[in-house]
Amino acid sequence: MVEQVVNYAVEQTQALLAIDSPSGYTAQVAEYAYNQLKELGFDPQYTRKGAVLVNLTPNLPQENGLLLLAHLDTLGGMITRITGEGRIHIINVGGLRPHNCEGENVRIRTRGGKVYTGTFQLHNPSAHVNPNYADTPRTFETMEVVLDEEVSSKEDVEALGIANGDVVCFDPRTTVTPSGYIKSRYLDDKLSAGILLALARQVAQGEVTPNRPVWLHLTGYEEVGHGGSTSVPAGTTDVVAVDMGCVGDDLDGEERKVSICAKDGRSPYDYALTSELIAAAKDSGADYAVDVFTNYGSDADATLTAGYDVRHGLIGPGVFASHGYERSHKKGVLSTLKLLGVFVQK
């Protein structure tokens, strides 16, 4: 049973990762999540902002509710300029860093519905030609998308229907190793979205029985700061972002654990709620760590910033190399599900 729920979470994560969804371009991935919840027997709804909201416990009195947040949006790019050579300049959507995207394959999605492929490269990228190759800073000014089309001018590119404002999606390169490691761009936060879909399945099958109202909110603007700022159901008292746990120097979290964040770059999380999450981790037997994430913000922060009078917390499986080519582990998925399973039943 344990292996099945973890595998389901990972399978859902892989399906979500296969759908391009930089912030603001999330309709297709939201539709996928909506349909999965519908198949489980729930009654999900789309919010005005294009997120997915679902009540896992419609038969309970809607008081003292818990809202679990994960986000479906990812980092990405947007076209800002087409050069006379037919190359494409972009700007980041969210915290995309140009220096860890060099040589990455991309998809350009036009407003007319066409999809074109290309590669994000340094201008004049051959080390045999460019004597300044190693010393050139990697920025959105020095790098460009080289289209996989026979184009040599701005007019050639525009004739394809490509224009400023079109979305640029980076290949996630998802793989799951026999040893249980999950490697991909955008595990932040599609891994936790997959975990929440697995939790919904456990509730639907009676494996987890919440003792309080539990809502899931799969948002679409977290990477740009306002995903969790709306659509908090009436009666909600606690909001917990299920996002990635940071892994790196001076942190106790790792890929095989669930991380509980006591404070991020904005403020401390609610002390009492964080203590309850720690207690749930202990009671569930989850392998966990408590850390402070100094360069971090979450959907739960956005909820408080919007003025909601709720307690807020943050947990998530450990993710290495965040906002780059990320890595986590099935053991971190399991520990996150263990914590959530106990927490929603308290």
What is the C-alpha separation between 84 and 338, in angstroms, rounded? 55
* 290, part of any domain: yes
Cβ proximity of 195 and 331 under 8 Å:
no
> Which residue range is the domain that position 283 belongs to?
2-74+186-343
Question: What's the mean pLDDT in 197-213?
Answer: 97
Distance CA 316, CA 333 (A): 8
Same domain, 29 and 125: no
Q: How far apart are CA 285 and CA 318, in angstroms?
A: 16
Q: Are residues 258 and 334 in the same domain?
A: yes
With contact defined as beta carbons under 8 Å apart, do 52 and 44 qualify? yes
Q: Which residues contact 155 (CB under 8 A, 6 or more apart)?
A: none
> Can you give the pLDDT at residue 127?
93
6 and 87 together in one domain: no
Per the prediction, the chain carries an average pLDDT of 97
Phi, psi angles (nearest 5°) of residue 107: -120, 130
CATH code at 137?
Answer: 2.40.30.40
Question: Which among 110, 135, 170 is the end of a domain?
Answer: 170
Asked if residue 244 lies in contact with residue 333, where contact means CB atoms within 8 angstroms, the answer is no
- As a whole number of angstroms, the distance between CA 291 and CA 308 comes to 25
Share of the chain above pLDDT 90, in %: 99
Whether residues 248 and 260 fall in one domain? yes
Say if residue 68 is in the same domain as residue 114. no
Q: Distance between CA atoms of 73 and 190, rounded to whole angstroms?
A: 8
Q: Is residue 296 scored above 80 in pLDDT?
A: yes
Structurally, how many domains does the chain consist of? 2
Please give the pLDDT value at position 18.
Answer: 98
1 — pLDDT class (breaks 50, 70, 90): low
* 235-284 tens-digit pLDDT: 999 999 999 999 999 999 999 999 999 999 999 999 999 999 999 999 99
- Residue 166 falls inside a structural domain: yes
Mean pLDDT along residues 197-225: 97
Q: How confident is the model over 194-221, as a mean pLDDT?
A: 97
Q: What is the mean pLDDT of residues 128-147?
A: 96
Q: Does 181 reside within a domain?
A: no
151 plus 234 within the same structural domain: no
Same domain, 191 and 318: yes
Helix or strand holding residue 155 (H, E): helix 154-159
Band of the pLDDT at 325, cuts 50, 70, 90?
Answer: very high
The residues assigned a catalytic role are 222
Q: Look at residue 126 and give its three-state secondary structure.
A: coil
pLDDT surpassing 70 at residue 174: yes
207 falls in which pLDDT band (50, 70, 90)? Answer: very high
Amino acid at 257: K
Q: What is the pLDDT of residue 316?
A: 98
Residues 30 and 105 in one domain: no
d(CA 84, CA 208): 59
- The tens digit of pLDDT for each residue in 40-74 reads 999 999 999 999 999 999 999 999 999 999 999 99
The enclosing domain of 17 has a CATH number of: 3.40.630.10
Report the distance separating Cα 9 and Cα 334, nearest Å: 9
Q: Is there a single domain that holds both residue 149 and residue 276?
A: no
pLDDT at site 305? 97
Please report which confidence band the pLDDT of residue 37 belongs to, taking 50, 70 and 90 as the band edges. Answer: very high
> Phi/psi of residue 89, each to 5°?
-100, 145
Question: Do 196 and 65 sit in the same domain of this protein?
Answer: yes
Distance CA 287, CA 338 (A): 9
Whether residues 193 and 320 fall in one domain: yes
Q: Are strands 258-263 and 45-46 parallel, antiparallel or unpaired?
A: unpaired
Q: Tell me the whole-structure pTM to 2 decimals.
A: 0.97
Tens digit of each residue's pLDDT (9 = 90 or more) over 118-133: 999 999 999 999 999 9
In a domain, residue 175? The reply is no
- What pLDDT is recorded for position 346? 85
What is the pLDDT at residue 2? Answer: 85
